[in-house]
Chain A
Amino acid sequence: MKQALAFAGILVAALAASNCTTQTDRRIQLRYMAWGNVEQLALEQELVDRFNRKNPDINVRLFKVPQSAYGNKSIVMFASRTSPDVVRVDHFNFPQLADRNYFRDLSEFTETDPEFKAEEFFPLAMQENYSNGKLQALNVLFGGGVMIYNKSLLAKAGLADPYELSKKGEWTTDRALEYGIKLTEFDSNGRPSQFGLGFPNMPFYIGLMYGFGANLLNEDLSRSAMDTPEAAQALQWVADLRWKHRVCPSPAQGANAAFGFETGRLAMEFNYIGVTSRYREKIKDFEWDICPLPDGPKGKSLFVKGNQLVMYRETKHPEAAWRLMKFIVSEEAERFLYIEQRRQSPTRIKLAQSSDFLEPKAPPFNMPAVTESVKSGKVLPIGPRWPEVVTVVGSELDGLFAGRDRDAKVVLQRAHKAVNKLLSEDPGL
């Protein structure tokens, strides 16, 4: 018994010791956190490696957390004072977290560093970085959403290229529905073998709402705007895709990989262009490209949103962290991330307009579809209460999207009431 205990004790000590890294590393240690799928995180790692090579006095480590818990983990870490030094925060969460003073004011760097020129970036992108009048972030992964389509499947069905149609203004929601129907097929057992459209999740359905002339909230984000007939029209169109016309996979079918775009069993999907780095690697048996979201009856369905790169307020190495942040939005990094790897649109105006970006050598080739969103996309109604609003709206709309409720108007009335109630109360109840 005693020997067993002693042995176990030694084992623990040995294992614990093996965990400790010997601190002979004189470099400044920084932690950088970002999200992404496996391929996207590899890109971040590449950026980190490049930075480390250029800055031998700093060692940056990419901090990975389970992606489904990214938002929560980052908030817990901010709140428990264990946050990494540089963190990418989704713009959805940015206003709320900035209000809590978790981020460092960057103007001390931007105003004194001659290398940083704010005018090189899209004004909208810079605007997003401000909260309560203070510059609290730099913008990364800035842009809108697109539709990705399987050219081979469309050609087989004899359908015109949607990008060409969009250039002529003929890529509309009616057309998209038509495509969805023509591209959905069933096998001899009645099981679906191919779906025409992927489901437009948040925020894609908000973009579509714009196309129908609707919005979630009003101009100053103080009240819901969901009680309009346009909003009902928009969301009915979305819900019908799945439940009336059956051109979208059901929630369960969409959850596993069987109908992923890369399997070739989904003809068109709503997604961000950032996913194409994975597609370039994985898709070998069909041709694909991108096009903008279809125009709605009242106008374009384009939305634009960035993400914030923040410096944790209590970082021990603000100067080094600034160097990292500056690098991530530098021309070299943006060239790599956005032009080469197509992670999103560049935030630098010059790069977004360059022919390298607009005329790439690898798919997707229709890059102007991305720039369109930046040029004419509408911002999403994101304020400090967004996380709460989206939770409430999401749970109401879930009934519509999961097929339990069939009438968008009724669902939206409920959502409208719930959001107004939420916004009239203090946060956090």
Chain B
Amino acid sequence: MKKAPLLVFLILLSVVALVPFIWTVSTALKDDQEVFAFPPRWIPETIQWGNFQKAWTALPFTQWVLNTLVITIACTIGQMLTGSLVAYGFSRFKFKGRDTLFGIVIATMMLPGQVTMIPVFMIWRELRAIDTYWPLILPAFFGGGAFNIFLIRQFFLSIPNELDEAAMIDGASYLRVWWQILLPLSAPVLATVGVLSFIGHWDDFNGPLIYLNSPEKYTVSIGLRMFQDSYGNETNLLMAASLIHILPTIVLFFFAQRYFMRGIQLSGLGGR
């Protein structure tokens, strides 16, 4: 392919990809009248930075961001810890039924969540845990998801056993081998799991929708929905609020970009 037209095409495509962002920012900065002006303008006549503050204070976003952080960080830690523990078991040990069980792990990746949604809700209801964070956090501590187990296991398989052996000759227990040998070496894949987990839980809408009732416990995703209900007519504020929801993941991505890309490559190619 010729280089110059390709470059132009790529530039065009990236503009198309970015336009929704720019449009959102542009709308967020407009005042009430200008939002509905026709033809629409890209740069508002008067830039209303105050819209962000208005949106933030109209509803308890501070509380919601904190809530979401608590849930997200807790889940991320849970997934990283238990995921790597389970992956350790699957990669370093041989026991009866291991391969079958691992096959089940893979199969659950293809399970639609709806099949278990209702009984799981009923379980939490019996445990009087509706409107608490337990339904959202606890599952992360049970292996952290098939995808993560798969990812980390592939990575562990690529770490030579000799390191384990050496440590155990020195008297280390299995657990210590995991904690002090394998985990540190798995920093890239763990970082990937961590970042993907963060983004996934920051984004989670279904869980909070079903389990959280009290507004002070809401996460940003539900809060944004509530914002849409109460202020949905004020499109500029709605766009500002949406940007509040978008920003953290983008910022995180820029910080963790390197790990990210590498980890995704690892995931897609089966750890090669």
A→B interface (CB under 8 Å): 1-2, 5, 8-9, 11-12, 15-16, 18-19, 37-38, 63-69, 73, 76-77, 79-82, 191, 256-258, 260
Contacts and interface: CB of A to CB of B under 8 A. Distances in A.
Contacts of B213: 65, 73, 76-77, 82
18 contacts: A1-B184, A5-B77, A5-B80, A8-B73, A12-B70, A12-B77, A15-B69, A37-B230, A38-B231, A64-B215, A64-B226, A67-B226, A81-B128, A82-B128, A82-B130, A82-B131, A257-B36, A258-B36
A77 B121 CA distance: 12
Interface residues of B, number: 34
B234 interface: yes
B125 A81 contact: yes
B10 interface: no
A9 B77 contact: yes
Contact of B190 (A1, A9, A18, A260): A1
B230 A67 contact: yes
Contacts of B187: 1
Contacts of A77: 130-131, 213
A65 B226 contact: yes
A260 B235 CA distance: 14
Given A82-B131, A256-B235, A1 B67 contact: no
Contact of A260 (B128, B183, B226, B233): B233
Contact of B229 (A19, A67, A76): A67
Contacts of A256: 233, 235
Contacts of B222: 66
Nearest to B70: A15
Given A63-B214, A80-B125, A68 B77 contact: no
Q: Is the interface of B mostly helix, strand, loop or mixed?
A: helix
B192 interface: no
Contacts of B26: none
Given A66-B225, A77-B213, A82-B131, 11 more contacts: A1-B187, A5-B81, A15-B66, A15-B69, A66-B222, A66-B230, A67-B229, A69-B229, A77-B130, A80-B130, A82-B130
B66 A257 contact: no
B215 A65 contact: yes
Contact of B66 (A9, A19, A67, A68): A19
Given A8-B77, A15-B66, A18-B66, A257 B234 contact: yes
Contacts of A257: 36, 233-235
B233 A68 contact: no
B74 interface: yes
B76 interface: yes
A16 B77 contact: no
Contacts of A5: 77, 80-81
A67 B234 CA distance: 16
